[in-house]
Amino acid sequence: MLIFIDFDDVLFNTKHFKKELVGVFLKNGVSQKIFFETYYDYPIQTKKGLKKYDPWCQIKILKEKHNLKDKKLKRDLGKLFKNTKKFLFPDSEKFLKNFSKKDLILISYGETQFQEIKIKNGGISKHFSQIIIGDQDKAELIKKFLKNKKDKNIFLLEDFPLHINAVKQKLPQVKVIRIKRKEGRYSQLPSLEADFEAKNLKEAEGIIQNSNIKQ
Ligand SMILES: [Mg+2]
């Protein structure tokens, strides 16, 4: 068995984290308007043409365009990033502990230092046999692991429609469990039909255990 698990909005309450991130900028004199104007105002793009967020790039722009003093802001952000564990969903660790490390692969989109820090400081790296942070759609990333095509127990736990669609179209052998948490930022967006849907990881765990029994 192999279980690929997405990070943002699946294991990690990104909405809550982002709210606190914006709060740090506001506290340091950046208005909400300017924060969102400069959010993606720098040329980091992935091969798919999607934008990636990087707070240090944003600060650079704020310095150049808006004359921002960045010393305290950087210090405050450092504090926020130091312990991202508090943004994990309450059921995340419990889920990870119930599977063996060799079966778990973390698969996250957006190769930036920011993404690495968020994951590393969340304290859950020890549960995974591999951590993949990549800029390709997840079908491309997962494909590399599917040497044994006969393995019927391959799951992806994902919330974002683009990746759900890519995997549904390109890798029909992977069972996609769409995670639709009430706190998820993309729970309302349409996607191709996933194999299963779960409101949280407890439900996802039940789905996985059930499918394994049926094999
Ligand atoms: Mg996600």
Residue ranges per structural domain of the chain = 2-13+85-214, 15-84
Task: Give the contacts of 103 (CB within 8 A, at least 6 positions apart).
Answer: 1, 2, 3, 129
Confidence at residue 42, expressed as pLDDT on a 0 to 100 scale: 60
d(CA 179, CA 91): 13
The residue among 155 and 115 whose pLDDT is bigger is: 155
Exposed e or buried b for every residue in 173-189, given b needs 16+ CB within 10 A? ebbbbbbbbeebebeee
d(CA 1, ligand 1 centre) in Å: 22
CA of 160 to the centre of ligand 1 (A): 5
Which tens digits make up the pLDDT trace of 52-107? 888 998 999 999 999 999 999 999 999 999 989 999 999 999 999 999 999 999 99
Distance CA 24, CA 22 (A): 5
Residue with token string 């069972």: 175
**32 by DSSP, 3-state: which?**
helix
Q: How much is the pLDDT for 147? A: 75
Range 197-203 average pLDDT: 98
Interval 29-50 mean pLDDT: 77
Domain 2-13+85-214 has CATH 3.30.410.40: no
Greater pLDDT, 51 or 122:
122
Expressed in angstroms and rounded, the spacing between residue 14 Cα and the centre of ligand 1 is 9
Average pLDDT for the chain = 91
What distances in angstroms separate CA 41 from CA 35, 56, 208, one per listed residue? 10, 12, 41
Q: Is the pLDDT of residue 209 over 70?
A: yes
Taking the C-alpha atoms of residue 194 and residue 183, their distance in angstroms, rounded to an integer, is 19
Distance 66 CA to ligand 1 centre (A): 32
User: What's residue 148's pLDDT?
Assistant: 64
In angstroms, what is the span from residue 22 Cα to ligand 1's centroid?
Answer: 19
Distance of CA 63 from the midpoint of ligand 1 (Å)? 30
Q: Going by C-beta distance under 8 Å and a sequence separation of 6 or more, which residues neighbour residue 142? A: 4, 107, 154, 156, 167, 171, 174
pTM: 0.92
214 CA distance to ligand 1 middle (Å): 28
Q: Would you say residue 170 has pLDDT above 90?
A: yes
12, pLDDT greater than 80 = yes
Ligand 1 centroid vs 107 CA: distance in angstroms? 9
Measured in Å, residue 7 CA sits from the centre of ligand 1 at 6
pLDDT of 46: 57
User: What pLDDT, on a 0 to 100 scale, did the predictor assign at position 41?
Assistant: 65
Between the CA of 147 and the centroid of ligand 1 the distance, in Å, is: 25
What pLDDT is recorded for position 155?
Answer: 97
| Spacing, Cα 11 to ligand 1 middle (Å) | 8
